[in-house]
């Protein structure tokens, strides 16, 4: 008697082996390559909250106003593809109700433009491609992938330095779970500005180099663990002027106890985190697990059928 090979056993065995190999490819090659900061980003995030600012027209502080921070991030796709890095051009403007209505960032209370270059895998800064300014740290516009419950160094552009953000707790944003990190900036000198001495109470006549001071009483970022996307942000900045050598604030340029993502921005960031995280979960967990189980079962069944294949008799001739 000799065994005949069942076509079904070969098909099942081959399919099982194929799925097992495919799952290894997903885990070792496809999913790690999917964890890359995109180069084609085009997004706008908006903060809003009550605060005060210095109105240059009336030369006075204005209280109880709605302040708005609008940040637009546009990826330089061509430069990113050439360099292999994520290159984002960032425009940030701070507006009062009066300047927001003008629709011109040049007339905002403050308008800055930056060019961020980061490693697409680690999110660390890269020195190339006309980066400006040079920055440090692990997090700014986003956190690295696979966020951990630890302290991260977050770059504060106004401070011009990194700020340690400590893990506070697991928190939900619109029903989506994330990690909340918090930090603060004590009052720190950040530069000088030429102003009339009388504005800052200086005894010197004419113009003086007033000291610019900055603090941030609360930095609170809630981050999607898998993608590193910031789903909600709250800051409490304060910018003031002091007379040269003074230890007290003379003029408040900008202050708020809480500027936070608007509802629309939160919903958009949560939706993007959910979509991107879902794809990474599919590639890194769901598909490999399902493929591994199915592949293993098919391979075992195919092997068993192959080993126990039907026998057929051998006829001898005399």
Domain count, the chain: 2
For the cut 60, the answer to whether the pLDDT of residue 6 exceeds it is no
What local confidence, expressed as pLDDT, does residue 297 receive? 55
For the cut 50, the answer to whether the pLDDT of residue 19 exceeds it is no
Q: How many Å apart are CA 62 and CA 51, to the nearest integer? A: 9
What local confidence, expressed as pLDDT, does residue 137 receive? 95
Instruction: Say yes or no: 292 and 238 in one domain.
Output: no
Q: How many Å apart are CA 35 and CA 282, to the nearest integer? A: 12
Residue 269 lies in a domain: no
Q: Which two tokens stand for residue 137?
A: 């740290």
Residue 268 lies in a domain: no
pLDDT in tens, 216-260: 999 999 999 999 999 999 999 999 999 999 999 999 999 999 999
pLDDT category of residue 43 using cuts at 50, 70 and 90: very high
**Closest-CA residue to 227 (of 80, 31, 27, 79):** 31
Instruction: Say yes or no: 133 and 163 in one domain.
Output: yes
pLDDT category of residue 312 using cuts at 50, 70 and 90: low
A 10 A CB-CB count for 18 gives 14
275 φψ region: left (φ > 0), alpha (ψ -120 to 50), beta (else): alpha
Residue 266 lies in a domain: no
What local confidence, expressed as pLDDT, does residue 180 receive? 98
pTM: 0.80
What local confidence, expressed as pLDDT, does residue 186 receive? 98
Percent of the chain's residues with pLDDT above 90:
68
Instruction: Say yes or no: 154 and 294 in one domain.
Output: no
Question: Which residues lie closer than 8 Å to 193 by C-beta, 6 or more apart?
Answer: 209, 210, 212, 241
Q: How many Å apart are CA 119 and CA 225, to the nearest integer? A: 19
pLDDT in tens, 278-294: 676 655 555 455 554 55
Residue 316 lies in a domain: no
What local confidence, expressed as pLDDT, does residue 290 receive? 52
Instruction: Say yes or no: 198 and 140 in one domain.
Output: yes
Instruction: Say yes or no: 11 and 89 in one domain.
Output: no
pLDDT in tens, 87-136: 999 999 999 999 999 999 999 999 999 999 999 889 999 999 999 999 99
Instruction: Say yes or no: 92 and 226 in one domain.
Output: yes
The overall average pLDDT reported for the chain is: 85
Residue 78 lies in a domain: yes
Instruction: Say yes or no: 198 and 83 in one domain.
Output: yes
What local confidence, expressed as pLDDT, does residue 57 receive? 86
Range of the domain at 66: 35-261
Residue 60 lies in a domain: yes
Residue 267 lies in a domain: no
Residue 85 lies in a domain: yes
């Amino acid at each position: 008697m000799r065994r005949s090979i069942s076509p079904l056993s070969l098909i099942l065995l081959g399919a099982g082996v194929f799925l097992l190999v495919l799952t290894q490819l997903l885990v070792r090659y496809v999913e790690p390559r999917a964890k890359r900061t995109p180069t084609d980003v085009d997004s706008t995030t908006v903060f809003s909250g009550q605060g005060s600012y210095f109105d240059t027209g009336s030369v006075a502080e204005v209280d109880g106003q709605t302040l708005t921070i609008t940040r637009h991030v546009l990826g330089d796709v061509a430069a990113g593809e050439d360099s292999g890095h994520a290159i984002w051009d960032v425009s940030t403007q701070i507006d009062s109700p009066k300047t927001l209505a003008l629709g011109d960032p040049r007339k905002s209370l403050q308008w800055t433009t930056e060019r961020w270059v980061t490693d697409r895998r680690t999110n660390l800064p890269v020195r190339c491609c006309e980066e400006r300014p040079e920055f440090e740290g692990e997090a700014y516009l986003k956190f690295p992938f696979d966020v951990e419950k630890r302290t991260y160094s977050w770059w504060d552009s106004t401070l011009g330095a990194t700020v340690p953000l400590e893990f506070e707790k697991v928190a939900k944003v619109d029903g989506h779970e994330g990690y909340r990190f918090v930090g603060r900036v004590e009052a720190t000198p950040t530069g000088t500005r030429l102003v009339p001495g009388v504005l800052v109470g200086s005894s010197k006549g004419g113009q003086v180099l007033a000291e610019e001071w900055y603090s941030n009483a609360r930095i609170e970022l809630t981050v999607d663990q898998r993608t590193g996307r910031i789903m909600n942000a709250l800051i409490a900045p304060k910018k003031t002027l002091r007379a040269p050598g003074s230890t007290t604030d003379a003029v408040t340029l900008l202050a708020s106890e809480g500027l936070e993502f608007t509802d629309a921005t939160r919903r958009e960031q949560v939706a993007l985190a959910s979509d991107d995280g879902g794809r990474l979960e599919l590639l890194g967990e769901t598909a490999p697990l399902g493929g591994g189980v199915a592949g293993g079962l098919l391979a075992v069944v195919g092997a068993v059928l192959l080993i126990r294949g039907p026998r057929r008799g051998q006829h001898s001739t005399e």
